[in-house]
Amino acid sequence: MQIEYWWLLALPLFFALGWLAARIDIRQLLLESRALPTSYFKGLNFLLNEQPDKAIEAFIEVVKVNPQTIELHFALGSLFRRRGEIERAIRMHQNLVERDDLAQEQKLEALYELAQDYLKAGLLDRAEELFAKLKGTTYQESALKYLLGIYEQEKDWHKAIDTAQQLESVTGRSYQKEIANFYCEMASREIMESRPDAARPHLAQALAHHRLCVRANLLLGDLELALGNATAAIEAWKRVENQNPAYLALTAGRLLGAYQRLGRVDEGLNLLRGFLAKYPSLDILNVVFGCVLERQGAEAAYQLVRDEMRRMPTLLGLDKLLEAQLLDTPLPRRHDLELVKQLVHQHTRSLEMYRCDNCGFRARQFYWHCPACGEWETYAPRRTEEKELPA
């Protein structure tokens, strides 16, 4: 193997260049550290010793002494907002917005932070104004998401639809489910204010944007029933089976009520029994149980629940089974059975809730819009215990 002698000459040169670069870096570091006020290092020391309040005061001193520390301004403003000191955060970011020496990107960042401050303070009109100014900038996607949240909070569904459509074009993600729910919100308002003719177009738009929008057919059935069109209401609710059979649990009581209006209770009961056989559900079982008990007696109701318990054993089902058995139990033994039912019922209270698939928030009421995380259609129409059953 031949040795290239010129390498022997180059090695010392490389070492010398490396030493020189290190010296330059160290010298630059020393110059920068000397330029920083002592308060900056005090603040760092307080942070390391887990004394955030003292650290903040030290950093504020740095900002007063050296107004050019832009990044520290941003950091302090965000910290104030997280701590709930919104007025201090607003002042910090407002000062940045008003400065003439900021680069364009820093000015946009200051606007974005100030908009979040206003939002946290509940000043929705000011937040909306600033987020709107960020359209067409690097902050556009985040600004549109915040605007969508503001319009949902204000129940300004027309603006919410427009913003969701803008988000679709910016992100490439579908917002059809959300848009359909916005139309349903408008339809609900019209129905509540007894304007069915104004509600219909909104429901048609909801289904046009999202053909699997169960909520639109539920509302359409409610609207038809309110107008006395029980047959049309039943047809609307039956369409839910083709959209998502799990939501038939929400239609069971509605369907039975409509059939009762038409004097065709047995037909409605047979329909619900068919749903129960194909799509086991505690809510459907509860409706069918009440109807069977009323029309066929305690023994038939007991047989119904017992068969369902064999197919889908749950504590909620057991609670219903004990209720059925109590109806046909002689008085001397009824007291003991009531004690057992009471004990089971206490354990089932946490199991009969609905749970958000996105954030886990639980509620006894079914929500289309989660009150905790703000997502749409994240509540499965099944009780907690049903969701935890093995498939």
User: Could you list the mean pLDDT of each consecutive 10-residue stretch along the chain, which spans 391 residues?
Assistant: 48 48 41 46 46 53 52 74 86 82 86 95 96 95 97 96 97 96 97 94 97 96 96 97 94 96 96 92 87 87 79 67 65 60 59 82 89 90 59 46
Pair (76, 128) in one structural domain: yes
* Residue 271 belongs to some domain of the structure: yes
What is the value of pTM for the model shown?
0.76
Whether residues 165 and 74 share a domain: the answer is yes
> Looking at the structure, do residues 225 and 286 belong to the same domain, yes or no?
no
Same domain, 77 and 158: yes
- Number of domains within the chain: 4
What 3-state DSSP class applies to 44?
helix
Domain span at 195: 174-243
SS3 243: helix
Shared domain check, 159 and 194:
no
Domain-embedded: residue 298: yes
Task: Give residue 69's pLDDT.
Answer: 63
Tokens representing residue 269 in the block: 């009961």
Residues 310 and 383 both lie in one domain: no
Check whether residue 112 and residue 153 sit in a common domain.
yes
Residue 189 resides in a domain: yes
Decide if 280 is inside a domain. Answer: yes
Is 150 within a domain? yes
CATH code of the domain containing 116:
1.25.40.10
Q: Are residues 239 and 273 in the same domain?
A: no
The pLDDT value recorded for residue 363 is 86
The predicted structure's pLDDT at residue 79: 75
Query: According to the model, what pLDDT value does residue 7 have?
Result: 47
Per-residue pLDDT at 6: 45
SS3 state at 354 = strand
Residue 374: which region, alpha, beta or left (left: phi > 0; alpha: psi -120 to 50)? left
Q: Which of 133, 149, 170 is the last residue of a domain?
A: 170
Judgement on whether residues 268 and 323 belong to the same structural domain of the protein: yes
Torsion of CA 191, 197, 199, 204, to 10 degrees: 150
**Any domain includes 252:** no
Domain end point (choices 146, 170, 194)? 170
Give the whole-angstrom CA distance, residue 287 versus residue 271: 12
CATH code of the domain containing 215? 1.25.40
Last residue of a domain, one of 348, 364, 383: 348
Structure tokens at 347: 């354990």
Statement to judge: residues 376 and 324 lie in one domain: no
Look at the block and give the residue holding tokens 């329909």: 271
Whether 190 maps to a domain, the answer reads yes
Residues 226 and 158 in one domain: no
320 and 375 together in one domain: no
Please indicate, yes or no, if residue 248 is contained in any of the structural domains. Answer: no
SS3 239: coil
Residue 362: beta bridge partners?
355
